Structure 1
């Protein structure tokens, strides 16, 4: 892979942290921005490229979050920037539901080509992952004439009313925001680290299926929605056989199987989609994040007979499939192909996973190391137990940031660090970031900072 980066790919922290310009912006923000909108780091971005984010005080951070798996091709990929500039010189908006344009059609054609299965497909474009999930549920309910929707423990599907109902974690996503949309039912997930010993993926799926059939009846369920690898819930990779067994049951019972690949999609796990890794062909897929190089774009793509069941005007929105975002998506997908970023994700796993496993062996505070491709995680526990340890997780993230590395936390118990680097990050920079993480774990294990 040969990509020329515009910014130096280096970690550089100078002066106080956060710097004076970031501190001033924080004060301005306090007076203007809702307290309900929080940020993980106390510094403000001025530039970003490749695997680094540069703040307003000139500090350069190694970015192992990529805007939560969004800037997979880099935060300012030159091909994406050129496509955005070119489209913006013609028109920024017409609303596809008023005056359509080719870019929307081209994105839909690419999605039909790239997503699993050789069946006829249709797509509808939206603005965010939550909006895509909402519309996938609408399609499933209309097409089946049923109401019930099955989601899973540890799931995260968004912050709108329906997607909060689908999401498992209360704080900060759901607390005091109810009542939520009805006819949503939660079933047990396959969580190999926390399941009883010996529970296979097939057994875990049958456990969920039995609960669905007893509590609901398969013929009452419109859709089953699941993340092939759960994101906010803790990067939980289900045991082999779990997803194929659920998919087969859904097909046999006329239930629409929806794969929420908002975070796992677009080369992140080492394939175009995590469903490919599992050998499943979803009826519908929800996509966003990495699709458009940082611009807001999302999609529902799936079987033509489902997507075309919706009456004209039933799907859409003022900004859905914005022409500039579509141009960015076409360019981003081309970059993924040109540089084989799925292969790059597999390479990232190959060089990072051994370091994470060695760290777990050396410290005794990491209960599980898991993930796939460039979607990797470590789960912190109290030594000698499986009890979640959210405190050390926070200390590690804070220590890494002060040393110049942005890492994200997640998990139902707040005890997971997730790694989502850009797929174009240099090996040397990536491994330097992992080294900082290792130092932070060792120091934080002792209650100190590096």
Structure 2
């Protein structure tokens, strides 16, 4: 039943997030919302195959989840007046406050500053994005069990500290925006290049929703440079989506893509946002620099790798994460040759040995150095760790061509 429920949740991911958002507002509890939503999806997985999918699946799931939530509260409440919390649904709804969008409000609410930033992001991806624990774990480069424990601890802290579930006020937004940006970026990435082996290589519903929310965030915080940077980054990345997977279902490298398939309107909008941030004179943050990298990739017929290295040099000073250093090493390999790039990549082995992109980068550099046996071994390691079907097909072709 758990497998059927999870499959149903993936198929109706938007409904999952709406059900959780609706119940969390009514019952003021993330645990109640998620548990009741899970119960509703389990009931759907049991009944829909025989009864048929209802005309309005979202309304059916919300109604069923609400009844499940009321039943749970009635069973668990021990004090007098045990039905009081269940009847909260009959009261007037909370004002929307500073944010007039259910999904974005829920993201801000989950990103409470009392939680560590990684816990905020993981919890919100689970509660709002509806991502599976395994998908979130891959985004953080940790084991599934470790990520499950992190999410459980975050929910326990909310309960123990009595952190209120409420719509954040305008004054709350700046303290939560960094977590919101991280959540939207990871949701976008999961849609743009899905990490699960059982999913399509591209999940447009996820990347599209992330862009929609990023646009709303940009309108909500027009002076926030990172909000503008994240939107630009998403637009410039998504502009290449139509050219990234071949007709045979294989991922294509940047230099293999048909640039005539790129979305010129999205590129123009993304470039305008990047130029706007440069003209502001403010020091750029992480997302603004990543957007600038993608602006270089989408400017003209070929990438100016010298500019890319310079941008990654700046990024590494504010975000020295292993993944950023890996991307910088790849760019250096394009500028200064594969031997220099390989030395930088190999230095990251202690941090990235379980990351497929690390092995894929090594394989490409080794191939360029004519180290055939080492390249094939690195491709094999990347294939074993990659989950995306299009990426596996690409890596397999590259390995077989060595």
- Scaled by the length of structure 2, the TM-score of the pair is 0.28
**Computing the radius of gyration over CA atoms, which structure comes out larger, 1 or 2?**
2
Higher normalized helix content (fraction of residues): 2
- Scaled by the length of structure 1, the TM-score of the pair is 0.26
Higher RCO (CA-CA < 8 Å; seq separation 6+):
1
Higher normalized strand content (fraction of residues): 1
